[in-house]
Structure 1
Amino acid sequence: MMRIASSQMWVHDQDVALAFYTEKLGMEVRQDVTVPEMGNFRWLTVGPPDQPDVAIVLMAIPGPPMVDDATHQQIRDLMGKGFAGTAFLITDDCRKSYEELSRRGVEFSEPPEEYPYGIDSGFRDPSGNSFRLTQLNEDFG
């Protein structure tokens, strides 16, 4: 059987991302390892405290030789538009979570709104990655 261990989010600055994910979203550091043999490559992961087997890799956008300059810029452009990927966060109370995260400094692009599947809101991280914060109704949960 296969299980998902981690998912990756491109970030402009790993330290800024780390502060956002831990201080504002309340996640915890899973791994923060620098590998000198790989040009000081930094493997940085975070995850929700109540899901110890799930991690988000906060991956710095690579440059040459991993990707050429044009590809690097394409990744940055997609991130700036919020189209480099989306993370879906589930909560028991979307409005309460929205208020709590807003107090911590998360800037929402969409406040909680009711949809056929539940209550949903949206925000982006400092690198432009898109997040949906959703309270699913019984038919979808």
Structure 2
Amino acid sequence: MELTISASFLPHTDPEASLAFYRDLLGFEVRLDVGYQDMRWITVGPPGQPGTSIVLQPPTADPNLSDDERRTILEMMAKGTYAGIQLRTPDLQSLFEVLESGGADIVQEPTDQDWGKRDCAVRDPAGNLLRIEQA
């Protein structure tokens, strides 16, 4: 059986801030931007990789969530403990400098890790943790 990952989902709380981060800082393409009522789902992905996307979604759009569940999700997002993703780049230092100069929330500067990778960590505008490793 052969499987590929076509999309991962991350919550967002501010569509414009998410676009500025993923499109303008990371350089991802916007593949789809769909609105419904006061919510937006934005699909982004790396140029040259049309089969791999991140869907930025409203965190509490599921009508089956209770008020307590919605509150818990938003609290976890505010702490940066709800969702995350691992990315890879051939030039970690240059990307880190772009993120830092663009005002990204830096969690960890580029570091050689004990497990053999060099990576850094930042949070997107919704608090999602992005670990970015050197390819």
The alpha-carbon deviation at position 21 of structure 1 amounts to 1.1
The alpha-carbon deviation at position 42 of structure 1 amounts to 3.3
Unaligned runs of 5+ in 2: none
CA distance in 2: counterparts of 1:63 and 1:52, whole angstroms = 26
State TM-score, norm by structure 2. 0.86
Q: Show CA shifts across 1:89-134 (max 9, x none).
A: 1111222221122223323111111113221111001110001011
Aligned to 1:99: 97
Aligned to 1:132: 131
The code of the aligned residue for 1:90 comes to R
CA distance in 1: counterparts of 2:110 and 2:56, whole angstroms = 26
Aligned residues: 133
Unaligned runs of 5+ in 1: 137-141
CA distance in 1: counterparts of 2:20 and 2:111, whole angstroms = 28
The code of the aligned residue for 1:106 comes to A
Alpha-carbon RMSD: 1.9
Aligned to 2:25: 24
CA distance in 2: counterparts of 1:42 and 1:81, whole angstroms = 22
CA distance in 1: counterparts of 2:79 and 2:104, whole angstroms = 18
Match of 1:57 among 31, 55, 61: 55
State TM-score, norm by structure 1. 0.83
CA distance in 2: counterparts of 1:90 and 1:63, whole angstroms = 30
Alignment partner of 1:61: what SS? coil
The code of the aligned residue for 1:127 comes to A
Instruction: Confirm whether residue 9 of structure 1 aligns to residue 7 of structure 2.
Output: no
The alpha-carbon deviation at position 40 of structure 1 amounts to 6.2
The code of the aligned residue for 1:128 comes to G
Larger radius of gyration: 1
> Equivalent pairs: percent with the same residue?
35
The alpha-carbon deviation at position 135 of structure 1 amounts to 1.1
